Structure 1
Amino acid sequence: MKFHAEKVTLPGAVLAVAWVVVDELYRMHVEATTYLESVRGRHCSVNTQRVYASRVSLYLTWCDERGLDWSSPGFENLLRFRDWLISEPLPPRGKQPPGHHRFRLDGSGDAVLGTMTEFLCFGVRHGWTTAELAMTLSRPKHLKFLAPGQSAGEGGQFREIQARTLKLKGDDPGIEFFTAEQVDLMIRLARNARDRFLIVLMRATGMRIGETLGLRREDLHLLPDSRALDCFHSGPHIHVRRREDNANNALAKSRKGRVIPVESEVIDFYRDYQWEREQVPQAAACDMVFVNLFRAPLGRAMSYPNAKQLFDRLAKWAEIIARPHMMRHTAATEWLEAGVPDDVVSDLLGHLSPQSLRPYKHVKDRRKREAVERVAAARR
């Protein structure tokens, strides 16, 4: 029996969707769907819910195909599931040479294990799984170092945490970023002003794709002085706000809003997009910044799948790897390369903890080459 994630519309809600897990006969898996409801209750984005639903479905399918009870598989079988995640070839994607197989990276497999562990531990409080199983999935870990500003508590009580026992430890390549040449190429390859503006805006602001698609026209303060809008931030800027009623379900990750300054390049590309948008009468009534202009339903807020398809097309045309989140890493990398202090970059990205900036500190080959040559020159 195969399980898969399915999107549903919530009864009595306006344009609200959720994700559930169903089998081949579209019978709902009650426990998995209850867990996903708790994920939605944490105000996670719809895309996060979709990913979690897919991971849980993968685990349930693996158990069912082997005749295992998902709620009490035994730790040895969970170890087999861990190994299977990175040893089982993935379904072919597009035209694939004969004998060529794709495999799940350690990082992707570890994310599945993390969701599976949370799902099984969630089942303890509902009586689906046993406390003994949950105890095998975690172990106490003593933190030698704490994040800046974090208290160790009385007697060091906060230094003791529960760490997962099921992990995949491999080389983490990290999320890549675009070079300036690649960004320029994507801008040239984009087929319309809306797509060009989206690329330029994400590169200039470091916004997540959910934050970008969730922008409303009232969030764009592009005049030198915004006091007429009851806003006292100086210069052109953009407000990033978390809203849970966006028609396209786009959601800002952080509950704390922030302001990001922008320069004339962003304004110029927005002006071109506005002219293009005005040619579609159906878009006039929509308050969202990014809307459908070239496919039905015209004037409707642009969705995440639309943005993903855009980057997939650009990746194919430019013959590069291109994902929306790489734009955020590109912005952070360029700010850090320009000497912008870490605390300023963290604020621009909307990070609450300084530790969150660590994955964005990509060291370019040029800087590594310069470091080696500098030491070699000094030695000579």
Structure 2
Amino acid sequence: MESAYTAERAISPTSGAVRWVVVESRTYRLHSEATGYLASLRARGCSPNTERVYAGRLALYLNYCHLRRLQWNAPGFTGLSLLQQWLVETPLPARTGRLVPGRVRHRSRGTANAVMTVVGEFLRFGALHGWVASRTTDLLAQPKLLRFALPGYDAGERGQHRHVQAAAFRFKTAQAGYEDLSPAQIRHMIASVSRARDRFLIALLACTGLRIGEALGLHRADLHLLASSRIVGCGIEGPHVHVRRRTDNPNRALAKSRFPRGVPVIAELVALYTDYQYERDRVPQASAEPMVFVNLFRTARGRPMTYANTKEMFDRLARTVRHACRPHMLRHSAATRWLRDGVDRDVVQRLLGHVSPLSMETYRNVDDAEMRAAVEHVAFLREQS
């Protein structure tokens, strides 16, 4: 299918700021409403990666409307229902260099749900600005009785808050869960990379639970690795790193949390950073760069590492160690290890930078050994001594 709309990266000729827009493929004329919605994401402080992903999903929706000859602002119930099916039934284009004869890729139901969420938000945004009629946004939700609630959810004295509005166009999907990495796997990952920078990055994520955007957004001034940092006006004792949200990082790395925090680090991590500094000092272009993680082995040496650079590194590492290893797996592994070792949930929540305690529910996995120990503890068939 020839695309009528595409998501494009736009660079301001005056400020150099990078923005994402949706344009007509042939004329490059802006789709003003979609581009206005993307601008609202920036105004809300969403990350550039969120803006990029949403731009692609908006272009996908507009292409569907163009294909079915629907008005984007009035797709109707049938149009939205068929969109949901179209998303999972339409084959995806083959990835460059990865074409496998006879193999056809499709979107998962989870991905389709994510696209439908963006479409719903876009239409509601349009309704606020008078572009979309209320009868269209009324189609997006339906009443639902919340039979099972997360711990801490206030259902009200009479249970009145159990009646909620749920997305009308959403597939039921199984909870995929998170994958853990064992301490042995993490040690193997660190030992399998030849570059001191990459060893430090892996260890930093595994020991602190930082998000990859938080790590890539670190400035050298954020690393307080001495026993005392009072000389620089910091009252936190012991080696630690400061996680701060900055919107002007040149690599567009962004801390998700808007609240700064200090995360302690161990002596072994400080030693790995020292090794990285020796490696970095051999690249003159990196001397004046304030960012911690920079390119040392490819073009644009000395420039900050990007999400794309990091993904390539982890993809290579996964092929070497022969198991999946993604940055967020290290964060999840750290959180699971802390909780399993009995660290107070409030402490773990603070370390991870979560505002809501409900966000912690995804991190506590029960393993087979714990389940066996529980059954052994209450086994009544065993002969009592």
TM-score after normalising by structure 1: 0.91
Given that 1:221 and 1:238 are in contact with CA atoms closer than 8 Å, whether structure 2 keeps it comes out as: yes
1:11, distance to aligned residue in structure 2 (A): 4.2
Aligned to 1:194: 197
Q: Secondary structure at the match of 1:20?
A: strand
1:328, distance to aligned residue in structure 2 (A): 1.3
Whether 1:313 aligns to 2:316 is yes
1:274, distance to aligned residue in structure 2 (A): 0.4
Whether 1:105 aligns to 2:131 is no
1:313, distance to aligned residue in structure 2 (A): 1.5
Q: Deviations over 1:310-366 (max 9, x none)?
A: 112222222322322222111111111221121111110011110011112222343
Report 1:54-65 matches (<5 A). 54-65=56-67
Given that 1:194 and 1:273 are in contact with CA atoms closer than 8 Å, whether structure 2 keeps it comes out as: yes
Given that 2:62 and 2:72 are in contact with CA atoms closer than 8 Å, whether structure 1 keeps it comes out as: yes
Whether 1:16 aligns to 2:17 is yes
Given that 2:349 and 2:357 are in contact with CA atoms closer than 8 Å, whether structure 1 keeps it comes out as: yes
Identity %: 50
TM-score after normalising by structure 2: 0.90
Partners of 1:378 and 1:99 in 2: CA distance: 55
Whether 1:340 aligns to 2:343 is yes
Given that 1:141 and 1:163 are in contact with CA atoms closer than 8 Å, whether structure 2 keeps it comes out as: yes
Partners of 1:179 and 1:146 in 2: CA distance: 28
Report 1:278-317 matches (<5 A). 278-317=281-320
Give 5+ residue unaligned stretches, structure 2: none
Aligned to 2:236: 233
Q: Flag the 1:327–1:91 CA change in 2: closer, same or farther, 3 A.
A: farther
Aligned-residue Cα RMSD (Å) equals: 2.4
Q: Flag the 1:378–1:8 CA change in 2: closer, same or farther, 3 A.
A: farther
Aligned AA (1:243):
R
Q: Secondary structure at the match of 1:62?
A: helix
Partners of 1:156 and 1:38 in 2: CA distance: 35
Aligned to 2:82: 80
Aligned to 2:94: 92
Partners of 2:69 and 2:192 in 1: CA distance: 50
Aligned to 1:277: 280
Partners of 1:65 and 1:44 in 2: CA distance: 30
Q: Deviations over 1:243-270 (max 9, x none)?
A: 1121111111111111111101211110
Partners of 1:355 and 1:200 in 2: CA distance: 27
Give 5+ residue unaligned stretches, structure 1: none
Residue range with higher mean Cα deviation, 301-310 or 170-179: 170-179
Given that 1:22 and 1:28 are in contact with CA atoms closer than 8 Å, whether structure 2 keeps it comes out as: yes
Q: Deviations over 1:32-86 (max 9, x none)?
A: 1111000111011101111111111111122212222222111112111112223
Report 1:150-299 matches (<5 A). 162-299=165-302
Given that 1:106 and 1:172 are in contact with CA atoms closer than 8 Å, whether structure 2 keeps it comes out as: no
Aligned to 2:31: 29
Residue range with higher mean Cα deviation, 138-147 or 338-347: 138-147
Aligned to 1:129: 132
Count of residue pairs the alignment pairs up? 377
1:157, distance to aligned residue in structure 2 (A): 8.6
Given that 2:150 and 2:358 are in contact with CA atoms closer than 8 Å, whether structure 1 keeps it comes out as: no
Given that 1:113 and 1:166 are in contact with CA atoms closer than 8 Å, whether structure 2 keeps it comes out as: yes
Partners of 1:297 and 1:316 in 2: CA distance: 25
Partners of 2:150 and 2:339 in 1: CA distance: 24
